[in-house]
Every structure is written in structure tokens, then in C-alpha cells.
């Protein structure tokens, strides 16, 4: 385990977490993480809720969930 005895930072910023993780991502995976990060940060502000509602139709959301699950499984493989 890379983090034994180390408390992880209290953040939801995926870009920051990636910068301190000992994992190399391809450009495609980095771009996808950047996309996910924008949803996390923008979702905290009311001005962006309407914008997100317009973007997140069923097909977009289904594709994002599928890609997120693929990335999650890949990351799990890296830390085990």
C-alpha cells in the first residue's frame, strides 16, 4: 500500500489527487479525469446546475458512467 500511515488529502479535486498518486495515465485517461473533475467542481455551484442539466441527457450520462466504471476498474488494478 502506498498510503500506509498517511492520511489522504481532504479533496474532491481529481486533478490534484492524480498529481500526488504514483500512477501514470495515458492522455485519454487524463482527459477523461479532467472531464470528471469539471463535473465535481461545477456541480457545487448553482449557476452550473442548468448547464449540467442540459448536457447530461440519457445517452451522455450512460456513456460517462460506462467510461467511469472502466477507469475505476483500471485504477483498482493499479493499486492492488
Q: What angle do CA 23, 26, 27 make, to 5 degrees?
A: 130
* CA nearest to 55, candidates 19, 26, 63: 63
Does some domain include residue 46? Answer: yes
Q: Which domain holds residue 29?
A: 14-79
What's the average pLDDT block by block, 10 residues per block, for the chain (80 residues)? 67 82 88 85 66 85 95 88
Does some domain include residue 73? Answer: yes
Q: What is the pLDDT of residue 44?
A: 62
Does some domain include residue 31? Answer: yes
Indicate the number of domains in the chain: 1
* CA nearest to 36, candidates 2, 5, 61, 58: 61
Q: Where are the alpha helices (DSSP H) in 1-80?
A: 14-20, 27-42, 46-55, 58-79
Does some domain include residue 29? Answer: yes
Does some domain include residue 62? Answer: yes
Q: What is the pLDDT of residue 41?
A: 59
Does some domain include residue 6? Answer: no
Does some domain include residue 7? Answer: no
Amino acid at each position: 500500500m502506498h498510503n500506509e500511515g498517511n492520511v489522504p488529502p481532504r479533496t474532491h479535486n481529481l486533478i490534484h489527487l492524480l498529481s500526488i498518486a504514483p500512477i501514470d495515465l495515458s492522455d485519454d485517461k487524463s482527459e477523461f479525469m479532467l472531464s470528471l473533475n469539471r463535473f465535481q467542481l461545477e456541480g457545487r455551484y448553482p449557476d452550473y446546475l442548468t448547464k449540467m442539466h442540459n448536457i447530461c441527457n440519457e445517452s451522455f450520462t450512460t456513456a460517462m458512467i460506462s467510461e467511469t466504471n472502466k477507469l475505476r476498474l483500471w485504477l483498482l488494478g493499479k493499486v492492488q
